[in-house]
């Protein structure tokens, strides 16, 4: 398998580069415990959203039309993928077959025109953030220039997928193609005038973002023209780190160092009001403070920048978190509502996702008490719902109930961010950023394929005891194939398979001998285990008593 360095030069994919210095990631208790019922429900909901047919955005539409604000499809798809990545690395490290297909579908969805077509209009400028730039020529290509609020998510998702699964499919030329065919309007008189098609791969896109960073003096890449938001450049830095893990480079260190220095020209990332600058104007190099002290403005940045700027984020978290939260009954915590915003006399409604981002930030910082308080509030006042076996919090536009309890739920918060916060572990994104896998991870036994009917509660490999631990059930609806395929089983010596402590199959390292009436068989290089269609949950151990080679 090969990759490249962004310039088209082929390089071998060195697996050890995916593991930093070779030290193990401390999955610890999270991997041993696996997923509880709520966490499995969240995972199922993210999977359900990924399986919607093309142009079906059920449960994902927010208040603002045309994907203009923070509740847009791009954010839901990207942070769903980040939540999956955290789940895989920290809670289900030996179950790529659970996470990989959903991740692929999310990447396919973020390439859909409905996700990025807003850019044709936003690229013209003349909006709330850049009124002096009205009349710019429209741009169709949503990743060629600016629009880091979209391009960085495509970049980081594709590279993160490669790191997580040792699969460079998005490194193939044209693997990340954005296309919109317009049969009823357009420049029909020119070749390709009805078909907008922009072909990229994870490395050419990464290279494009890197040079935009360099050309703007590392201040960052703009979202809307001329508007460089601190927050929206964090996913790009995460993407650069994923690229470095694949190629052995140091782009993330270079860019994050330059980013810090560029913002030092304003005295650092924090304005005089004690909160983060929201954005800076590229042309005048003027920083704009978070004047309304919007909670998302602190929490979103802090949740992501903890990857490379942890010392600052740790101190900043403790200095501002209390200003955003309100104590409620029985240990609940909710968000302090932001002041209404206006443009002239016109009120502005948007999906700010304050509650969701504060929950994610608390989870990333390992602040269990505040996280539990926020989640307790969500359980009591935000109508948790089960639909198609998945768990989520449905959209609710009303800010508070009759008693004044915060009840607003945006689709990003209800579909993704509360799930993300529940599935994360302390400093989980930082640990993924620094060192996602222990040396030799991809050679370990794992659940490489998981049938749609199977629910995986736990899956981790104990290298010291040469044992794969996994707990399986069958979804209540029972739809799909109840088969699990285990990889990296053969040529490691004799093994034994136990179900709930009972020996059910053994092998001499080549053939399978069933001890009890279970359906276990060898299929080429996999070991296939077919479950009975029952709601019962079973715990399995696949062990090599002599120690795996």
136 inside domain: yes
Domain hosting 301: range is: 2-434
Phi–psi pair at 109, nearest 5 degrees? -70, -35
- 405 and 475 share one domain: no
- 253 and 209 share one domain: yes
- 311 and 458 share one domain: no
Phi–psi pair at 99, nearest 5 degrees? -90, -40
Give the count of alpha carbons within 13 A of 137, CB side only.
4
What CATH number is associated with residue 61? 1.50.10.20
The answer to whether 70 and 351 have CB atoms below 8 angstroms apart is yes
- 430 and 451 share one domain: no
- How many domains does the chain contain in total? 2
129 inside domain: yes
The answer to whether 343 and 128 have CB atoms below 8 angstroms apart is yes
Domain boundary residue, one of 379, 410, 434: 434
Amino acid 189: pLDDT: 64
519 inside domain: yes
Q: How far is CA 236 from CA 8, 72, 308, 397, 526, in A?
A: 20, 18, 12, 31, 37
Integer Cα distance of 466 and 544 in angstroms: 6
Integer Cα distance of 482 and 65 in angstroms: 40
What CATH number is associated with residue 521? 2.60.40
Amino acid 427: pLDDT: 98
Calculated CA dihedral for residues 77, 52, 186, 65, nearest 10 degrees: -60
- 356 and 496 share one domain: no
548 inside domain: no
Find where tokens 């850019």 sit: 119
- In the 3-class helix/strand/coil scheme, how is 82-106 assigned residue by residue? HHHHHHHHHCCCCCHHHHHHHHHHH
386 inside domain: yes
Integer Cα distance of 450 and 341 in angstroms: 47
Integer Cα distance of 93 and 447 in angstroms: 9
Domain boundary residue, one of 434, 463, 481: 434
292 inside domain: yes
Amino acid 62: pLDDT: 92
Q: Are strands 502-507 and 454-462 parallel, antiparallel or unpaired?
A: unpaired
- 394 and 459 share one domain: no
* C-beta atoms surrounding 534 within 10 Å: 11
- 215 and 318 share one domain: yes
pTM of the predicted structure, to 2 decimals: 0.94
- 465 and 399 share one domain: no
Residues 314-352 as b/e (b if ≥16 CB within 10 A, e otherwise) read eebbeebbeebbeebeeebbbbebbeeeeeeeeeeeebb
* Residues 6 or more apart whose Cβ sits within 8 Å of residue 284: none
Amino acid 185: pLDDT: 81
Integer Cα distance of 420 and 87 in angstroms: 9
Nearest to 241 by CA among 430, 80, 443: 430
Q: What is the pLDDT along the chain (549 residues), one digit of tens a residue?
A: 334 443 433 343 333 344 443 333 445 789 889 999 999 999 999 999 999 999 999 999 998 888 988 889 999 999 999 999 999 999 999 999 999 999 999 999 999 999 999 999 999 998 888 888 888 999 999 999 999 999 999 999 999 999 999 999 999 999 999 999 888 887 766 666 788 999 999 999 999 999 999 999 999 999 999 999 999 999 999 999 999 999 999 999 999 999 999 999 999 999 999 999 999 999 999 999 987 678 999 999 999 999 999 999 999 999 999 999 999 999 999 998 777 777 667 777 788 999 999 999 999 999 999 999 999 999 999 999 999 999 999 999 999 999 999 999 999 999 999 999 999 999 999 999 999 999 999 999 999 999 999 999 999 999 999 999 999 999 888 789 999 999 999 989 999 999 999 999 999 989 998 777 679 999 999 999 999 887 689 999 999 997 755
Amino acid 1: pLDDT: 36
Amino acid 376: pLDDT: 98
439 inside domain: no
Domain boundary residue, one of 408, 434, 460: 434
- 378 and 515 share one domain: no
- 309 and 208 share one domain: yes
DSSP 341-353: EEETTEEE-----
First to last CA, the chain: 23
510 inside domain: yes
- 56 and 8 share one domain: yes
- 135 and 253 share one domain: yes
Q: How far is CA 242 from CA 154, 159, 202, 367, in A?
A: 12, 6, 10, 26
Decide: helix, strand or coil at residue 71.
coil
């Amino acid at each position: 398998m090969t990759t490249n360095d962004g310039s088209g030069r082929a390089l071998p994919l060195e697996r050890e580069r995916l593991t930093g210095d070779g030290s193990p990631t401390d999955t610890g208790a999270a991997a041993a415990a696996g997923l509880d019922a709520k966490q499995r429900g969240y995972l199922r909901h993210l999977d359900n959203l990924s399986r919607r047919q093309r142009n079906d955005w059920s449960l994902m539409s927010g208040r603002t039309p045309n994907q203009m604000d923070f509740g847009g499809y791009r954010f839901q798809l990207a942070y769903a993928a980040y939540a999956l990545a955290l789940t895989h690395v920290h809670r289900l490290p030996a179950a790529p077959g659970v996470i990989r297909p959903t991740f692929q579908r999310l990447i396919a969805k973020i390439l859909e025109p409905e996700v990025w077509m807003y850019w044709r209009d936003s690229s013209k400028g003349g909006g709330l953030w850049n009124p002096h730039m009205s009349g710019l020529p429209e741009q169709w290509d949503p990743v060629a220039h600016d629009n880091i609020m979209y391009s960085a998510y495509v970049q980081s998702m594709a590279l993160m997928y490669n790191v997580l699964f040792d699969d460079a499919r998005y490194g193939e030329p044209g693997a990340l193609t954005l296309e919109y065919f317009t049969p009823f309007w357009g420049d029909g008189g020119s070749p390709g005038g009805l078909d907008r098609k922009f072909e990229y791969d994870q490395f050419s896109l990464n290279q494009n973002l890197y040079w935009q960073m360099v050309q703007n003096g590392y201040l960052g890449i703009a979202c809307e023209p001329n508007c460089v938001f601190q927050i929206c450049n964090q996913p790009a830095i995460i993407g650069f780190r994923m690229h470095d893990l694949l190629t052995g480079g140091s782009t993330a260190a270079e860019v994050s160092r330059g980013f810090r220095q560029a913002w030092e020209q304003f005295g650092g990332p924090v304005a005089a009001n004690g909160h983060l600058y929201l954005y800076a104007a590229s042309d005048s190099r003027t920083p704009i403070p978070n004047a309304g002290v919007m909670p998302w403005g602190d929490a979103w940045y802090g949740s992501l920048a903890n990857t490379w700027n942890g010392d600052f984020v740790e101190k900043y978290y403790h200095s501002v978190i209390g200003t955003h939260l309100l104590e409620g009954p029985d240990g609940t915590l909710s968000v302090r509502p932001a002041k209404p915003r206006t443009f002239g006399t016109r009120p502005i409604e948007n999906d700010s996702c304050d509650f969701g981002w504060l929950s994610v930030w608390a989870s990333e910082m390992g602040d269990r008490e505040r996280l539990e308080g926020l989640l307790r509030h969500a359980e009591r006042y935000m109508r948790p719902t089960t639909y198609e076996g998945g768990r989520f919090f449905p959209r609710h536009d009303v800010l508070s109930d009759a008693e004044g309890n915060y009840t607003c739920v945006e689709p990003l918060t209800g579909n993704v961010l509360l799930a993300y916060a529940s599935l994360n572990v302390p400093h989980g994104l930082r640990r993924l950023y620094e060192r996602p896998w222990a040396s030799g991870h991809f050679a370990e036994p794992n659940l490489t394929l998981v049938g749609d009917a199977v629910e995986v509660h736990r899956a981790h490999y104990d290298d010291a005891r040469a044992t794969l631990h996994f707990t399986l059930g069958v979804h209540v609806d029972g739809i799909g194939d109840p088969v699990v395929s285990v990889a990296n089983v053969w040529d490691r010596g004799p093994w034994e398979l136990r179900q709930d402590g009972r020996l059910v199959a053994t092998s001499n390292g080549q053939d399978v001998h069933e001890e009890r009436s279970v359906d276990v068989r060898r299929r080429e290089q996999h070991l296939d285990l077919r479950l009975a269609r029952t709601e019962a949950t079973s715990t399995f151990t696949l062990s090599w008593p002599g120690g795996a080679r």
